Structure 1
Amino acid sequence: MTRQLHPDVRSLLDRVEEQGNPGYADLTVACARGIFREFLSVPEAKLDPVSRVRDLEIPGPNGPIPIRVYDPADASEPRPVFVFLHGGGWVLETVDAHDHTCRALANAGACTVVSVDYRLAPEHPFPAPLEDAYAATEWAANNLESLAGDPDRVVVGGDSAGGNLTAAVALLARDRDGPDIAHQVLIYPVVDHDFGTDSYEENAEGYLLTRESMRWFWDHHLETPLDGANPYASPLRAPDLSGLPPATVTTAEFDPLRDEGAAYADRLAKAGVDVEHRRYEDMIHGFVPFLAEPELDAAREEIEAIGATVRDL
């Protein structure tokens, strides 16, 4: 098969190269956060309208956790509740960076979206982000009345590092006899502390997310490389994936994380978990937030596909 990038993605990558932004591995954490914040900013006029947005704080294992709650523009009650865990390598981003994504998900899924501003590394390394993500999922499941939520339709999902946290939250919920999760949405997830896959070799650089950037993210996220073998850090290494919620797994051809996401989908299926794996042959890692400036058709397609899954639960 001949690998071919979508023309719009090629144009995006050319613009990034022209700007001469260095890789994350060459930056301080503060500088990387500033660049990433600007890169994902969306003009207010381009945001999908929703009926209500609330900024709240909920109890967490080490203090309050900020969350942002989105009510869809038009939906019945009770409705699905989607706990959204943003990406950014456990180091970058806040709920602000995925504001447009969460608005689109709320409307596409006719659901309440709870976007979690979990603690970030390196200030708060593993397992701090995961414990915040799990606490927020528990809170959502226990506060469905205030969220107009359906107890049978609690969803957890996220992109990249958020996909990693999603998979780990599902494992924790099973292992701790925690909240019932109806579905897990893993968008090009990080699921293994390993840089030796074919997709890491093929897509080591030149496609926005690089192998060296992933090393930088993992180095900040883990206090010691030994933590990378922990199944809650690397869900692909969990000895047993049975009894987990049905899953949607999205991967992209030009993504260093492609193969580990596909391997996780395969292992889930072999463990008896209902899985839908969508692979975008002409996309890169991180394409889903590109809903405006730049706007990728595949991004809106994926949001609508996830929304259909959530609505049909």
Structure 2
Amino acid sequence: MAELDPQVRQLLDLLDQQRAPPTYGVSVETARDQLDELFSMLDPEPVGDVQDLDIPGPAGPIPVRVYAPEDEPDDSPGVFVTFHGGGWVLGDLDTHDPFCRAVTNAADCLVISVDYRRAPEHPFPAAVKDCYAAVEWAADYAPHLGGDPERLAVGGDSAGGNLTAAITLLARDRGGPDLCHQSLIYPAVNSRVGPEFDSYEENGSGYFLERESMEWYDERYIQDDLDARNEYAAPLLARDLSGLPPATVITAGFDPLRDEGIAYADRLEDAGVAVSHEHFEGMIHGFVSMLDVVDRSHDGIETVADGLRDAFDA
């Protein structure tokens, strides 16, 4: 078995010393504050331009943040619409900001970060509806932002990976925006009625994301047992994954979501979808966003950027 990366071990030890209660042991507001504080320690890199906008949504305006790369591309760049992680409950434009800045520079593309409605105030399918509306908006308004609507990709980490997979299914099923790529970063694609995976037992405690926290998130996002079987809530349960855009899939060896991410990558391949799957053995859930804390986070950013560049250049 692979060993935990030394920098990751140091980070976990530091978090243990802080003795912060686990997500599942605090209120939603406290959990949000804890994540905000954690990501506030990062030093975001400069980019060419950042705009905060409100766009039309199914239940009112959706805040989005648009990033342009530091080095201005020669032509209209591709557009990457991204959805933040945080168990559908935590996270926002600010927690996702360092990741978005790193990707826009590494991939030389526009990045649109979506501040979708969160659970428990807005359970499934509110986030899916907001994210789909944002992708439709991006397809229509990319030229006004200086981007190329013919090169439109989606992506996200964890719960954002779940939303990414759901949006690709919706776009296919509804004949919606033509997506050229999907970036799935340790995606949460299973549900409480889905298959059992060993990684929940192996990595369910002590590796940043805990099994009980996933259950806490799930209870707040999926408030109707029927929704737990909905493929837009749990894309791994979808009967048909054919006709979806090429995918970059990132998984981590010490992540409770490891096995479902691997299973989804395998199912995409079996359905004829082009998949580039990069497995980071010594990493934990969330590592790609741990910029300047874990060196291999930059390898994760490059993996995402490589997939986007290949898709935009195709």
TM-score normalised by length of structure 1: 0.96
Percent identical pairs in the alignment equals: 56
Q: Does residue 1:25 correspond to 2:1, yes or no?
A: no
SS at match of 2:264: helix
Does the CA contact (< 8 Å) of 1:191 and 1:234 recur in 2?
yes
Q: Does residue 1:51 correspond to 2:75, yes or no?
A: no
Distance 1:65 1:6 in 2: 38
Matched to 2:277, the amino acid is H
**Once the 2 structures are TM-superposed, how far is the Cα of residue 152 of structure 1 from its aligned partner?**
2.7
Matched to 1:151, the amino acid is P
Does the CA contact (< 8 Å) of 2:56 and 2:62 recur in 1?
yes
Q: Does residue 1:114 correspond to 2:112, yes or no?
A: yes
Gaps of at least 5 residues in structure 1 are: none
SS at match of 2:290: coil
**Once the 2 structures are TM-superposed, how far is the Cα of residue 12 of structure 1 from its aligned partner?**
0.4
- State the match for 2:214 in structure 1: 214
**Once the 2 structures are TM-superposed, how far is the Cα of residue 151 of structure 1 from its aligned partner?**
2.7
Q: Does residue 1:60 correspond to 2:57, yes or no?
A: yes
1:54-98 Cα offsets, whole Å, 9 max, x none, are 000000000000000001011232111000100000000110111
Distance 1:192 1:76 in 2: 41
Distance 2:197 2:270 in 1: 20
Q: Does residue 1:299 correspond to 2:297, yes or no?
A: yes
Distance 2:273 2:117 in 1: 30
Q: Give the aligned length.
A: 308
Q: Mean alpha-carbon deviation: is it higher for 107-116 or for 188-197?
A: 188-197
- State the match for 2:258 in structure 1: 258
Q: Mean alpha-carbon deviation: is it higher for 26-35 or for 299-308?
A: 299-308
User: Which residue, 75, 78, 102 being the options, matches 2:76?
Assistant: 78
Q: Does residue 1:145 correspond to 2:143, yes or no?
A: yes
- State the match for 1:98 in structure 2: 96
Matched to 1:141, the amino acid is A
Does the CA contact (< 8 Å) of 1:219 and 1:225 recur in 2?
no
Matched to 2:237, the amino acid is R
- State the match for 2:204 in structure 1: 204
SS at match of 1:82: strand
Gaps of at least 5 residues in structure 2 are: none
SS at match of 1:204: coil
SS at match of 1:152: coil
Post-superposition, which runs of at least 4 consecutive aligned residues in structure 1 deviate over 6 A? none
**Once the 2 structures are TM-superposed, how far is the Cα of residue 226 of structure 1 from its aligned partner?**
2.5
Distance 2:205 2:179 in 1: 36
SS at match of 1:115: strand
- State the match for 1:134 in structure 2: 132
Distance 2:87 2:196 in 1: 18
TM-score normalised by length of structure 2: 0.96
SS at match of 2:262: helix
SS at match of 1:105: helix
SS at match of 2:144: coil
SS at match of 2:263: helix
1:76-125 Cα offsets, whole Å, 9 max, x none, are 32111000100000000110111111000000010000000000000000
Does the CA contact (< 8 Å) of 2:143 and 2:149 recur in 1?
no
- State the match for 2:184 in structure 1: 186
Structure ranking higher in strand proportion: 1
Does the CA contact (< 8 Å) of 2:138 and 2:149 recur in 1?
no
Distance 2:308 2:236 in 1: 24
